[in-house]
Chain A
Amino acid sequence: KQEVTQIPAALSVPEGENLVLNCSFTDSAIYNLQWFRQDPGKGLTSLLLIQSSQREQTSGRLNASLDKSSGRSTLYIAASQPGDSATYLCAVKGGSEKLVFGKGMKLTVNP
Chain B
Amino acid sequence: EDKVVQSPLSLVVHEGDTVTLNCSYEVTNFRSLLWYKQEKKAPTFLFMLTSSGIEKKSGRLSSILDKKELFSILNITATQTGDSAVYLCAGINSGGSNYKLTFGKGTLLTVNP
- A, B: real partners: no
